[in-house]
Chains A and B, each alone.
Chain A
């Protein structure tokens, strides 16, 4: 055996060169895998944000209106009250346009069509809320029609207007004139967060108000039910239950429930809560119950993990001074495990907040224009029809007007912001209270 058997270390032999090339390729595969994942994330976010960011600004038409008490009275006694108010708006608009010589060759009908169908109701609400406005002249801010809004957001152009029966090229010319005059402006769209849903013809008025409230009610139900039940179940399984085939069955069962497709929970909700227990369809109560059952395994798994991480010495110390087993758990183990439990709960809630499929089956996809009450005598607690953020997104994707795609993406941005806040809170709690034993 001589030193030459291996050759000089300073020269890489051909075989090793080949192997090193393979090594490099392998590394590249790994790097590209990460790149693919990250690029997918970026494209996903960019696509959603570029489609949806514009929904946070909305085009408003603003012009002076004069109204006197007699006109109000006449409108209020009309059969179609909003129709009557619409007439007043149209008259005022016409006055404004002629005074500023903006109408020129454009038909009056086209000018009126630029205002949202929602305007009559908005105007009426304003007048009823501000009776002192009667007899004065004031600036009225009204939603512009969805197509006009789309024109300022690049969705509608003169070419597409020719093919579209909901908008005319003349209206776009008028829109430019009004914008130049400062009468047509984009503003931050608060109404997007407060308005209820709107029908197919008026995407400009559609908002997330009911959906946000419905989601909030459901999260309240989930928090109120899933947290105590999940913690109680975990305490029993982790601290008290003796190992037997029953606890084994429960354990496998919980692991499996965590992996059951969410739509199966929807079927369960439909069959048990709606068909069997006859609770109200589309209600946050049923939605909350379904999401509770769905979130429970997540909470139990994370709670058990945090209970397990508390060293037995703590329990022994409590038992050693004569505390009962129950006292050792409730006085010592549970408070120490609380941060972990809370983190797990928030993550479970975040999951529940984004869940869509089961809610479709229990009717939450219905068109809801009224805010639900937290309690009502005939529907009970959280029993009135509502919708939820992710379901509202789905609902809007099913509409034909492209303005709703913008709304859906905007709703998703809102949903993602909520999720971001919840996850950030979870991370913060974990970092702040993390303890190594």
Chain B
């Protein structure tokens, strides 16, 4: 990237000069009377600046990309002499500069011209979201492909042992990781869904405005706390507590990191997520529905259980799916709270590990991007991405359908 620094700054400099020159030229063409101009001097300036700046920037971007792709296929695309690149890019810049200055006249529609450039920028910005997804998929698919070239996919998906060995001969079965992931997410949801849902119901149906205005933001504070904080909380407080007061006395284990530790802490993290989503959804149920039930002599709780919640059910299901997707993709809490041992066990007080923990452990430290022990992380990542994508799309679809129903 570095060889492009000089043309980059040169182009920016030229664009600024272009803006000022074009404005002066437009004024002089109009002999100082801007009423005779089709566009304002400022718009002429903008058009020149953008004409000078954008084409070379676009070329630079494409050029850098091409060089990188070439390098990854052992092709040398970059010319030996960087001066060639400099001259080409600055030449392009100067061409835009001169052409746009020459076009300045009383009748030139500079506003339309400059707006076309701006439109191009806006469209480019909105494609970045698409490019991100493409980048995610491409980067993981190519590496996963080369992983499956070295390691049988059947072993990856169906083997029940995970024991990577950097000297080779590793067992890289995903099943124990998926088990740990699902077990922890399950415990988290068992805590977060009822607590979050009841909290949302209470806040939207029972609480006084005063209580609501205090309790709701406080619960939302939980959502603003970074996951590393929850991780440390699991490591320092919850883990030892569970070990000393539950696991050890009951003879269920001696480990502070456990499925229970990570699950409970993750559950706390998800409470505000479930409650604020459910709150929105419950509030979308029309008041007429409640009046109808109350008018028949139903108590509030009967109204909530038999009318409001069933009416909101699709939305709540969507919220739970989104929470599940969160839980499955959560990393820091499990890294610090769940442990590193891949294990297929039912005992919640034993340390187990998850897909995300293994992605971190296989990709940090000294890694060799040719060995299956490293590449497996991309296959894990892709699996994780596909699972969460599925959950998200289904959940977003359900929630959107639900919203439309009451709009």
Q: Which residues of B contact A261 (CB under 8 A)?
A: 325-326, 328-331, 356, 384-385, 388
Q: Is the CB of A264 within 8 A of B227?
A: no
Q: Is the CB of B301 within 8 A of A256?
A: no
Check A232 for interface membership: any CB of B closer than 8 A. Answer: yes
Check A236 for interface membership: any CB of B closer than 8 A. Answer: yes
Proximity string of chain B (220-239) to chain A, C-beta cutoff 8 Å, 1 when within and 0 when not: 01101111111111011100
Q: Which residues of B contact A41 (CB under 8 A)?
A: 218-219, 221-222
Q: Which residues of A contact B115 (CB under 8 A)?
A: 324, 326
Q: Is the CB of A412 within 8 A of B396?
A: no
Q: Is the CB of A240 within 8 A of B232?
A: no
Q: Is the CB of A27 within 8 A of B231?
A: no
Interface size on A, as a range, is 35 or more
A37-B272 contact given A19-B299, A232-B126, A241-B126, CB 8 Å threshold:
yes
Check B129 for interface membership: any CB of A closer than 8 A. Answer: yes
Check A141 for interface membership: any CB of B closer than 8 A. Answer: no
Check B5 for interface membership: any CB of A closer than 8 A. Answer: yes
Give the dominant DSSP class at A's interface.
helix
Nearest CB of chain A from residue B363's CB, rounded to whole Å: 5
Q: Is the CB of B237 within 8 A of A47?
A: yes
Check A69 for interface membership: any CB of B closer than 8 A. Answer: no
Check A355 for interface membership: any CB of B closer than 8 A. Answer: yes
Check B148 for interface membership: any CB of A closer than 8 A. Answer: no
Complexed CA–CA distance, A278 and B72 (Å): 11
Nearest CB of chain A from residue B136's CB, rounded to whole Å: 5
Check B132 for interface membership: any CB of A closer than 8 A. Answer: yes
A262 — nearest CB in chain B belongs to which residue?
A: B331
B195 — nearest CB in chain A belongs to which residue?
A: A33
Check A333 for interface membership: any CB of B closer than 8 A. Answer: no
Q: Is the CB of A22 within 8 A of B299?
A: yes
Complexed CA–CA distance, A279 and B2 (Å): 10
| Stretch in A94-102, A151-159, A197-205, A268-276 touching the partner | A268-276
Q: Is the CB of B199 within 8 A of A47?
A: no
Partner of A296, one of B129, B203, B222, B237: B129
Q: Which residues of A contact B139 (CB under 8 A)?
A: 267-268, 271-272, 276
Number of A-B contacts (CB under 8 A): 266
Check B89 for interface membership: any CB of A closer than 8 A. Answer: no
Q: Which residues of B contact A32 (CB under 8 A)?
A: 198
Q: Is the CB of A277 within 8 A of B1?
A: yes
Proximity string of chain A (19-34) to chain B, C-beta cutoff 8 Å, 1 when within and 0 when not: 1101100110111111
Nearest CB of chain B from residue A82's CB, rounded to whole Å: 30
A and B contact pairs by CB, cutoff 8 A, 19 listed: A19-B302, A26-B305, A27-B206, A33-B198, A37-B195, A37-B219, A38-B215, A232-B122, A233-B129, A252-B393, A259-B396, A264-B385, A278-B68, A296-B128, A326-B118, A355-B226, A365-B364, A394-B335, A412-B229
Binding site for B on A (CB under 8 A): 19-20, 22-23, 26-27, 29-34, 36-38, 40-41, 43-44, 47-48, 51, 228-230, 232-233, 235-237, 240-241, 249-250, 252-257, 259-268, 270-272, 275-279, 293, 296-297, 300, 324, 326, 350, 353-357, 360-361, 363, 365, 380, 390, 393-394, 397, 405, 408-409, 412, 415-416, 419, 423
Known: A256-B393, A357-B360. 12 other contacts (CB 8 A): A19-B302, A22-B299, A23-B299, A33-B196, A40-B222, A44-B233, A229-B125, A267-B136, A276-B72, A354-B228, A360-B363, A380-B2
Binding site for A on B (CB under 8 A): 1-2, 5, 64, 68, 71-72, 111-112, 115, 118-119, 121-126, 128-130, 132-133, 135-136, 139-140, 143, 194-199, 201-203, 205-206, 215, 218-219, 221-222, 224-233, 235-237, 268, 271-272, 275, 299-302, 304-305, 322, 325-326, 328-332, 335-336, 356, 359-360, 363-364, 369, 377-378, 381, 384-385, 388-389, 392-393, 396
